[in-house]
Amino acid sequence: MIGGISYASSQIASVYSATTNALADALTRIATGKKFQNSSEDLVGFLRAQDLQADISSYKKVREDITGFKAYTSAAVTAADSIYDNLSEMKELARQYAGTEDADLKGEYAAEFNTMRRQVTDTLDNTYVDGTKVTKATEEVTSVDFNPEVDGSYSMTFTEIADSTTIAAFDLTDTTDEDAVQGQMDLMLTYMSEAKAFNGTADQQLNLTTTIINSKQAVKSLITDVDEAEEMSKVLDLSLRQQASIAMLAQGNLAQNSLLKLFE
């Protein structure tokens, strides 16, 4: 009888130990928020999560590169808008200059025209991002990779742009007229359209890359992250089992002590 009680107590103690270990594991998962901590716990899940993390890191690098690319496209758009607006004002001043015989007005128009001219040439000659001139044509300004899994890059290269040297030589008192300014406006309009296209593409790719990152992170989360409600349910069940084991062990010890007293 005593042997039987000792055997039962041993079995209950074993159940108690296993329950305690399982409870500790469940509490650890809740505390860390992860289903497993290393490859030994879930090799397939661990390897899949590692692959996903590598993809996520690659796309995050792409997102950083696109953000840097956006600095160039944004600078190009800002410069293009400023230059085109100033050239438009210069064209209007050239028209007004040609349409009056008033010397004072001609002087005012010419002075304002020259101010606009200097602003245009200064913007054309001095718009840089990280040491790279943005306001240039036929030569690559910068490039970026949109997909880490495919070789190739997206180049920011403009086909044409207003000519700084030509604009610097504009002189209302000489041969400069509306048509001359309009010619530079046409060149600038092409540059501005391309700059906005580059900027729009960068925005689209930035949004797409963020979507890809979020998607991969969601898949990784399904693999690695615990379901807190499910784990809490397990913790409650294991806690009840642990308490039951303790109670049974206590009763077994009490019964064993009672039997031993009969032989004293």
Residue 17 confidence (pLDDT): 65
Residue 229 confidence (pLDDT): 53
Length of the chain: 264
- pLDDT by residue, tens only, the chain of 264 residues: 444 555 555 665 565 566 666 555 555 655 555 666 666 677 888 889 899 999 999 999 999 999 999 999 999 999 999 999 999 999 999 999 999 999 999 999 999 999 999 999 999 999 999 999 999 999 999 999 999 888 889 999 999 999 999 999 999 988 889 999 999 999 999 999 999 999 999 999 999 999 999 999 999 888 876 645 555 555 455 565 556 666 665 565 555 555 444 444
Task: Give the amino acid at 208.
Answer: L
Which of 193, 192, 206 has its CA nearest to residue 70?
A: 206
Residue 171 CA to residue 164 CA, distance in Å, equals 14
Task: Give the amino acid at 83.
Answer: I
Residue 151 confidence (pLDDT): 83
Looking from the CA of 218 toward its CB, the CA atoms found within 13 Å total 6
Element (DSSP H or E) covering residue 23:
helix 2-32
Match 């391309």 to its residue by tokens.
Answer: 194
Residue 31 confidence (pLDDT): 56
3-state SS class at 149? coil
Residue 84 CA to residue 195 CA, distance in Å, equals 13
Residue 104 CA to residue 110 CA, distance in Å, equals 10
Looking from the CA of 248 toward its CB, the CA atoms found within 13 Å total 18
**8-state DSSP, 101:** -
Residue 148 CA to residue 65 CA, distance in Å, equals 11
pTM across the whole model: 0.74
**8-state DSSP, 40:** T
**8-state DSSP, 46:** H
3-state SS class at 169? coil
